[in-house]
Structure 1
Amino acid sequence: MKDLSLLTKYRKFLFPGTLLFFIIFAAVPGQEEWIGLDLAVVPLILGGGFITWSTLVTMIETRKITAGLLIVFALIGTTYVSEYLAGAIVAFMMVAGEFLEDITLDRTRNAVRELVQLSPDEAWVKRNEEYISIPVEEVTVGDRVLVKPGERIPVDGTILSGQAVIDEASITGESLPVEKTAGAKVFAGTINQSGALELQTEKTGNQTTLGKIIKVVYEAQESKGSTQRTADQFAKYFTPVILGICALVWVFSQDLMRVMSVLVIACPCALVLATPTAVVASIGNAAKRGALIKGGLTLETAGKVTTICLDKTGTLTVGRPQVVEIQPFASYTQEEVLSTAALAEKRSEHPLASAVMNEAKRRKLSIPDPQEFSSVFGRGVHCVYEGTTIEVSNRRRLEQLPDSEVARTFLDAQEEKGRTALLVLKNGEVIGGISIADALREQAVQAIKEMRKSGIKRIIMLTGDNEKTARSISQQVGITEYKANLFPEEKLEYIRSLQKEGEVVAMVGDGINDAPALTLSDVGIAMGAAGTDVAIESADMALMADDLRMVPFTLGLSRQALKIIKQNIWVFAVCVNIAGITLATSGYLSPIAAAVVHNVASLFVVLNSARMLTFKLNYSESETSFSSKQAQSAV
C-alpha cells in the first residue's frame, strides 16, 4: 500500500522522466549503431504524439486555432529534416514545461482544496432521542447536531445549549478564537476547541457560509479581467501572424531549421499564462485570510482605486452604542455613577439603556432590581430603590437644577464630540454624567494610515449622522474629508460625481444598508460578511471578519497583482518573444535553444505569479504583522 501511495504521489514525474531517459541515451555517441535505431525517435513519438493529440482535442473543443499548433508544425518539421533529437528535446521541453506549470499552479489552487476539506464528512445528529453519526450530506435544516470538543462544525446554525471556544480563522481570517454560548451563530468548517455544543441546523452544504465562499472563489478563478481577455485575443491572432512570419523566413532564407526555431520560440504560452496565474494566486491568498474577491476584473479594478469612501456606522465604528466616558461629580466614583445609572436603566428597552447595562456587566457590577420604574418620554428614566429616587436624564433636566454649571459643562463638552450625554441623579442631585457613542473600531486608525501608505489619494467618510458627530469621528480616525447628513440617494450622487471626476472609487460598507452605494462604486467592499448571504453575493469584495485592516490588505494585494501581471506580459512574454523571434529568424537560435528559452519564460511567468501566494501587508512596528499572524491560523 505504501508503494502504491508513492506511485500515486509521483505519477506526474513518470512521463517527462521517461522522455528524459530516452533523450539522454539517444545523445550517447554511437548508440544508433549498437541498437540499430536512433533512440531519439522514441521520445519524439511519445512526446510529439501527446502534444499533437492534446492540441487537436483543444482545437476541436474550442473550435479555434490554438498556439499549440505551432509546436505541432515544429515537430513535423524537425522529423521531416531527420533532426530527431532536436524534435525529441522540443517535445520533452513542452511536456516538462507543462508539468512544471501544473505543479506551480497546483499551489495556487490549494486554497480552494483546503476550503473544501474544511467541511467534515460526518456529523452527530439527533435521531430518536439519541445522537448517531451520519454523512454530512444527509443532515437537513432543523436537525439537532452535536459537536464535540476538537471537531469541526459541519453546518451553519445556532447554539441551543453548551458553551465553547470556536476557532473561526477558516471563515473570518481572525486569528483569535471566539467564546460562544447559547443563541450565538456558528459556521460550517470552524473548529470547536473546547466544550460540547448542541446546534439547530440552519444551512447545509452549498448554502452554508463556507459553501458560498468555495463557490465564489471557484467562480472568481474562472472569471476573466480585461487584461486577461486582451491576452486571449492576442493569442487568437498570434498564430496566423507567426505562420506568416515563418513563410517569409522560408522564402528569404530557404532554411527549414530557422523556420522550426521561429515556430518553437513564438508559442505565446507565457502570454496566455500571464494573467490567470496571478489572478488565481491572489484570490487564493485572499480567501485564506477571509477576503473574497470576485474574479480577475474586480482584482484589476481594485488595483487602480484612487479614492475610498467609507460608511461610518458599522464600518469605521462598531455599529452599536457603547459607554465611552463616565464623569463623577463631587465625591462619587465611576462605579457608583455607573451602578446607579444601571439600576434606573435595568428595565428600560432603549438602546442607550443597553449600552449602560453592557458596561456594568463588563465591569462585573451587581445591579439589583428597582422597586418602581417609569420612562419619561423625551427625557429619560426614573426609578425608586430602597426609598432613593434615581433618574437618568438628558439636557432637558438642566432647567430644573438649581446649580447646573458643572452638568452643563459636561453636556457641552460631550455633545461637541458628537456623543450622547446623560446625567445621573440621586434624590434630585446630579452625581455624575455618562457619555455614549458608537465607538471606533480598534483597527480604524491603523487601517486609514495603511490605506494612505498604499497610494490611495483620497479617503472620504460618508454618513447620515449630524455634522458634529461626523467631524468628531473623522478627526479621531484621521480622515480629512467627510460628508454628513447624507440620505442614501445622496451617497449615490456623491459617488457618481467622484467617478465623473475620473476617480476609481471603492466603497466600504456593511453590505446591507449600503448595498446601493456598493453596487454603484467601481469596487464595492462589504465588511463583516460572514453569515450574510446578501453581502457575499452582491459585493465585489466580501470581508468575512469585521477587521478594517483587511481593506488595505485587499487593495494592496490587488495593486501588487496588477504589477505582477504587467511584468508577466511585457517582460516574460512580449520582450522574450520579440527577442527570440529576431534571433531565430537570423539563424542564431536553434530549435533546441528556442524550446529552452520558450519554456523558461513560461516557467518564470508562473513562478512570478506564485509570489502572490505569500503576499502580506505589514503594519507599523508597534503591531505584529496581522497578515502573517492570520496566515498561521487560517486555512
Structure 2
Amino acid sequence: MHEGDHHLLEVAGQTETAPRHAERPGAPQTSVRSVPPTWALWRGLWRRGLLPAGLLLLVLIALIPGIDALAGFDVAVIPMLLGGIAIGHPTLVTILERRRVTAGTLVIIAIAGSAYLGEYLAAAVVAFMMLAGEFLEEITLQRTRNAVQELVRLTPDVASVERDGAWVQVPLHEVRVGDRVLVRPGERVPVDGTILSGEASLNEASITGESMPVDKTNGAHVYAGTTSQSGAIVVRTDRTGRDTTLGRIIQIVRAAQDQKGATQKIADRFAVYFTPVILSIGALVWLVTSDLLRVMTVFVIACPCALVLATPTAVVASVGNIARRGGLIKGGVTLETAGRVTAVAFDKTGTLTQGCPVVAAVVPFDGRSARDVLQMAAIAEVRSEHPLARAIVEHARTAGLSPADPEHFTMTFGRGVEAAWNGYRIEVGNQRILAADDPAADVLVAHERQGRTALIVRVDGHPWGVIGLADAVRPQAREVIASLRAMGVGHLVMLTGDHAVTAEAIAREVGITDVRAGLLPEQKLDVIRELRAAG
C-alpha cells in the first residue's frame, strides 16, 4: 500500500473507503467484511499470476527460430513492453510519492537501455525475472491472508435489528452502538454487546479458545463471531466492526502478516543502497568509454533479479517442503526465526486437544452398569443440540447402544434436560439438579478437578451415575512436547481462554508446567511479547 493510501481499510486483501462518519460516536462502524470491486480482483490476478506466466510464454515464443520473420517484427518487443509497463508504473508512483529510488528504478533503466540498443529479448527476460520474484513472494503472503479470511467469515453479513418495534434484517455495517440485536439459535453474534433478555448456550471458541459452550443470560457480555448453539437472546450493541474483539484480533493478525523476515528486511535495505551505487558506476563507465552498450551491460548484469528472487524462492520451497510433512508456516518471518526459538507457546483448544468434547468416563452408582447409565443419558439427550449431548449420544452409539426417542423432553437453561421414556423420568444435568448434601456431588467435584465437565444422571429422582466429558488430548501432543525439550527448547507454555482447572489438567497430561488460563486473544499476544522480551 502506498503512503497516500492510508485512508483505505484493508481486510483479508480487500479494500473499502472509510466513511467520514465512522469516527463519530453512535455512527455505524466500518464492517470487518468488505467486498472488493471486480476490477481490483482482475488487476491483482493479472499482476500477480497471469502476467508472469504470459511473459514467460511470449519469451519462449520469441526464441523460436524464424518467428520474427514470420511475424514481421521482433516478437520479444511484446513481453518487453508488457513487463516494462507493469514494473514502470508502480516504480514511478513510488518515486513521486516517497521520493525514493528503488530496485525497480534500475530495472526500468536496464529495460529502456536494452530496448534502445535493440536487445528486446534481454529486456523481456529481465522484466520476467522481476515479476516472477514478486509472484513467488505473493504465494507466501497468500497463505497468511487465508488466516484473516477465515476470521472474517466468522462475522455474519446481516443482523436482526429492532426498527420501529419490528425485527428487520440490515447489513452489518448499518448496525449502530445502542441498537437491539436479536440472535437466534444457530446464528452467529454480529456485535460485541450485553444481553438484555433471553438465555443461550454460546460457543466462544473463536474468541476465548474454550471448547465447551458457555451458558449466558441477562447482563452477560457476548462477543462478535461467537455462535448461539441453543437459545435466543436480545443483545444491546456496545461495539461494532473494527472495534469488536474479533475486529481487533483481525487487525493484530494483519499486523503480524505485514512483518517481514530479517532476510527480507536486509534485502530491502540492500536494494536502497545498491541502486544508487550501480547508477553511479554506470555513469562512470559512460564518462570513461562513452559506450552506451557497455553502460547497459553493467545495468543488465547488476539488475537485482537474484535479489528479488532469492528470498521468496527459498521461502516458497521451504513452506512447500514443510506442508508435505503436515506442517504450516505462515511466512518468511516465521520460517527465519524458527531456528532461534527458545520458547514455544501452545494454544490449548484444537492444538493440544481435539477441540470437541468426548466422554472420558462413566461412573455408575449402586451396582448399576456403565451401559445402563449411558443408555438412560443418551435417551434423555437424543433430542438436544448441545455439544455435550451430542458427545453422549455419539459415545452411546459407538458402544453399540441405540438410544430410543423419549416420549417427553424439556431443557432447563443452566441445569440440564429432563425426559420421560417407558415410565421412567430421566434427568441429566449439572450439580444444580442435586440436593446440597447428596453424596453424588463429591463425584462431580472429583471429575471437575480433573478438568472434566461432569453431568449427573438421575432416574425417578435417584442418582444412577456420573458422566465425565472432556476435550480429548491429541495423541501426538505429549510426544511433540518431549521432542521440543530434547531439541533444547526450554520454555514451553500453554495459553488458553479456558478455566484454570481444566487448563492445568490438560497441561499435566501433555507435560507442560507453565499454564496461563482465562486469556482473551489480546492477552495471549501480551504473553507472547513478554516471552519475546525475555529472550
Matched, 1:118 2:154: yes
User: Cα distance 1:41–1:224, how it changes in 2: closer, same or farther (>3 A)?
Assistant: closer
**Structure 1 Cα separation of the partners of residues 60 and 490 of structure 2:** 61
User: Cα distance 1:279–1:234, how it changes in 2: closer, same or farther (>3 A)?
Assistant: farther
SS at match of 1:268: helix
Letter of the aligned partner of 1:41 in structure 2?
V
Match of 1:450 in 2: 480
Of 245, 262, 268, 2:301 maps to 262
SS at match of 2:217: coil
Of 139, 147, 165, 2:175 maps to 139
5 Å-filtered alignment, 1:379-528, equals: 450-454=480-484, 455-459=487-491, 509-510=516-517, 528=519
**Structure 2 Cα separation of the partners of residues 41 and 27 of structure 1:** 12
Cα displacement (A) at 1:66: 1.6
Contact 1:122/1:136 (<8 A) preserved:
yes
Match of 1:55 in 2: 91
Cα displacement (A) at 1:91: 2.4
User: Cα distance 1:34–1:307, how it changes in 2: closer, same or farther (>3 A)?
Assistant: closer
SS at match of 2:520: coil
Contact 2:132/2:309 (<8 A) preserved:
no
**Structure 2 Cα separation of the partners of residues 107 and 298 of structure 1:** 12
**Structure 2 Cα separation of the partners of residues 363 and 194 of structure 1:** 15
Cα displacement (A) at 1:123: 0.8
Percent sequence identity is 41
SS at match of 1:59: helix
**Structure 2 Cα separation of the partners of residues 21 and 267 of structure 1:** 21
What TM-score, normalized by structure 1, do the two folds share?
A: 0.45
Contact 1:461/1:479 (<8 A) preserved:
no
Match of 1:82 in 2: 118
Contact 1:188/1:209 (<8 A) preserved:
yes
Of 239, 256, 259, 1:220 maps to 256
**Structure 1 Cα separation of the partners of residues 216 and 235 of structure 2:** 11
Matched, 1:91 2:127: yes
**Structure 2 Cα separation of the partners of residues 27 and 446 of structure 1:** 54
5 Å-filtered alignment, 1:209-358, equals: 209-224=245-260, 226-240=262-276, 259=298, 261-264=300-303, 267-270=306-309, 273=312, 304-306=340-342
Cα displacement (A) at 1:263: 2.4
5 Å-filtered alignment, 1:1-20, equals: 8=42, 11=46, 15-16=51-52, 19=55
Bigger shift: 96-105 or 46-55? 96-105
Contact 2:493/2:516 (<8 A) preserved:
no
Contact 1:139/1:204 (<8 A) preserved:
yes
**Structure 1 Cα separation of the partners of residues 61 and 477 of structure 2:** 61
Cα displacement (A) at 1:82: 1.6
Bigger shift: 152-161 or 226-235? 226-235
Cα displacement (A) at 1:185: 4.7
1:398-452 alpha-carbon deviations (Å, 9 max, x no partner): xxxxxxxxxxxxxxxx9xx9xxxxxxxxxxxxxxxxxxxxxx9975998665334
1:208-258 alpha-carbon deviations (Å, 9 max, x no partner): 221011111122223456554434323333334555777899989986785
Contact 1:170/1:189 (<8 A) preserved:
yes
Match of 1:161 in 2: 198
Cα displacement (A) at 1:42: 3.5
* Structure 2 unaligned residues grouped into runs of 5+: 1-37, 321-327, 347-351, 353-362, 369-414, 417-426, 450-469, 495-503
**Structure 2 Cα separation of the partners of residues 302 and 265 of structure 1:** 27
Match of 1:540 in 2: 528
1:254-305 alpha-carbon deviations (Å, 9 max, x no partner): 8678535522465521356589989999xxxxxxx9x9x9x99899778634
SS at match of 2:141: helix
SS at match of 1:64: coil
SS at match of 2:254: helix
1:328-379 alpha-carbon deviations (Å, 9 max, x no partner): 9xx999xxxxxxxxxxxxxxxxxxxxxxx99xx9876787778xxxxxxxxx
Question: Larger relative CO (CA 8 A, sep 6+): 1 or 2?
Answer: 1
Match of 1:602 in 2: none
Q: Between Structure 1 and Structure 2, whose CA radius of gyration is higher?
A: 1
Letter of the aligned partner of 2:490 in structure 1?
R
Cα displacement (A) at 1:60: 3.4
**Structure 2 Cα separation of the partners of residues 305 and 195 of structure 1:** 45
Cα displacement (A) at 1:133: 1.8
**Structure 1 Cα separation of the partners of residues 91 and 237 of structure 2:** 48
1:598-624 alpha-carbon deviations (Å, 9 max, x no partner): xxxxxxxxxxxxxxxxxxxxxxxxxxx
Aligned-CA RMSD value: 6.0
SS at match of 2:340: coil
Contact 1:309/1:508 (<8 A) preserved:
no
Of 210, 217, 230, 1:182 maps to 217
Matched, 1:71 2:59: no
SS at match of 2:181: strand
**Structure 2 Cα separation of the partners of residues 200 and 33 of structure 1:** 74
**Structure 1 Cα separation of the partners of residues 190 and 345 of structure 2:** 37
SS at match of 1:61: helix
Matched, 1:41 2:77: yes
Match of 2:28 in 1: none
**Structure 2 Cα separation of the partners of residues 111 and 474 of structure 1:** 26
**Structure 2 Cα separation of the partners of residues 148 and 474 of structure 1:** 33
Letter of the aligned partner of 1:87 in structure 2?
A
Letter of the aligned partner of 1:262 in structure 2?
I
**Structure 2 Cα separation of the partners of residues 451 and 369 of structure 1:** 43
Cα displacement (A) at 1:182: 2.6
Match of 1:589 in 2: none
Bigger shift: 208-217 or 18-27? 18-27
Contact 1:220/1:296 (<8 A) preserved:
no
User: Cα distance 1:300–1:32, how it changes in 2: closer, same or farther (>3 A)?
Assistant: closer
Match of 1:377 in 2: none
Contact 2:58/2:76 (<8 A) preserved:
yes
Match of 1:102 in 2: 138
**Structure 1 Cα separation of the partners of residues 70 and 333 of structure 2:** 59
Question: Comparing both structures, which one devotes a greater share of its residues to helix?
Answer: 1
**Structure 2 Cα separation of the partners of residues 68 and 131 of structure 1:** 55
Letter of the aligned partner of 2:520 in structure 1?
A
* Structure 1 unaligned residues grouped into runs of 5+: 282-288, 311-315, 317-325, 334-356, 371-382, 393-413, 418-439, 463-471, 483-506, 511-526, 543-550, 556-635
Matched, 1:206 2:242: yes
Cα displacement (A) at 1:74: 2.4
Cα displacement (A) at 1:124: 0.5
Letter of the aligned partner of 1:529 in structure 2?
L
User: Cα distance 1:218–1:81, how it changes in 2: closer, same or farther (>3 A)?
Assistant: same
